[in-house]
Amino acid sequence: MNQPSPFDASIPVLTEVVAEPAAPAPAPAQEDGAEQLERRAVERWTGEEWSVLERRVTERILAQLQGRIDFVIEQRLRDGIAAAVAGALDGFTGQIRANLEQTIGEVVSQAVAQEISHLQTLGK
């Protein structure tokens, strides 16, 4: 018996490896005059100047992130409060159900006792 081929002849198959031509190395960026002056000035900065720059950059980044941080904190608080309320509600529901079952049991027992007592007085 002739078994069908596991491959469909209409689907092309890669038979040879095609290598892409190597990309040319990027040309070094040309600095304009202002960038050269800035680079030279930064190379001569003192420790105090670096500290001032660090403080300014830190303040700027913190200011930019403050809105995002507030949103994340608010969302996490909401999620935490929702989980806590759900857990408390589950606990309260269980307690209320148990107390209700006990109360209904007591009420039914009292009602049955009263009815039996009433029937006994009628039978006498």
Q: State pLDDT tens for residues 16-38.
A: 555 566 666 665 556 677 787 77
Please tell me the pTM assigned to this model. 0.38
Residue at 93 is within a domain: yes
Q: Is the pLDDT of residue 112 over 80?
A: yes
**Cα 91 → chain centroid:** 26
DSSP structure class, residue 12? -
Residue at 27 is within a domain: no
Residue at 68 is within a domain: yes
Distances (CA, A) of 31 to 24, 26, 36, 40: 21, 15, 6, 12
Range of the domain at 62: 47-123
Mean pLDDT (the chain) is: 81
Number of domains the chain is built from: 1
CB 39 within 8 A of CB 31: yes
pLDDT: is 121 or 84 the higher one?
84
Residue at 29 is within a domain: no
Tokens 């000035």 sit at which residue? 41
Residue at 92 is within a domain: yes
pLDDT value at position 79?
95
Q: Is the pLDDT of residue 1 over 60?
A: no
